[in-house]
Structure 1
């Protein structure tokens, strides 16, 4: 039985992965703001990623941790002149600073098990178009964090970044609504499909490591800031 910590486990991809791993017998530590939202069969770790400085104190004592999967994230779209300093700070805290701090705090336990850190990024983390300055900056930073960690922990901890394209989650639907953009769920991946891909990444034998993996629907929807 592996011990896997998953952020953003109360909804979307994180919830789908938590349910999948718990059902097969893994010990799943679900990092959620409200313990009542942790998926069935998981152990809730109550923490607010918007407050990275408090994360280390919220964690249970762990001698070993087999995997840490960063699924949590928020996405705000809009022009550069539409974001305040507070808006920038909140998105960067949740999408970048919190993963960095949580990784730092759990590295001893990950090293003890020759574990695995998986960052769920976004296509916007590779190329940010109009309206995606804040989200894109946080996700580009997340890529840099993963790349640096991989180089630093060579031979001790495996590090993977997964870049899902449009996925049918509540966050995606809200973004499309906010941008008055058409939404067609048949042209999006399901959260369960992405979760199964993450399961595959975690199950790759120890003599190999997936470095970067990009997923996209076969016929993706146009970018929300683009013309249909």
Structure 2
């Protein structure tokens, strides 16, 4: 980890580990006390350990995120959550699991980014779907990342997912608005489509779950890419 270029994500560790779960519960209890009206439906906490030279490339998450930094120095660049920095079509594809969260990046967009240099003890959150990229800038890095589902994020994602369904039938969506009667109709369409896919769709792996490398401690980066056909 110290010499390579690796990320280890202990998924849901904050939810299931007996030592961490009380801390995770207390964290969100405090956030809710400090922010009246904040009512997350679900939250999942993972621990991320990464090498001093590791980075996360430009991507967009489909959950709201609360990020707590524990060890090392880290630089975040956060970009506006709309076109041209991220397209609705890309978000639809992510929600339909047609692609990972990685999306096209133009280096010129760095001029539009908000830059945050994190030290241990810092806390960061950003707007839903805002693209971001991350670089470790000093030492082995340890962080806690919390994926949060709120009513607002659930509705917005349902509308985008439903728009992706409409495109499959050759219909160009007129709006991605998550308010009003149309949004509730798209919410119902999204739920119905997900159920149909679960019952009748072909099984396929989530793009993120596909293993494309092997850990190789002899390699300079700590891993070796698998050959692709």
TM-score by length of 1: 0.26
Larger radius of gyration: 2
Q: Which protein has greater RCO, CA pairs closer than 8 Å, 6+ apart?
A: 2
**Which has more helix, going by share of residues?**
1
**Which has more strand, going by share of residues?**
2
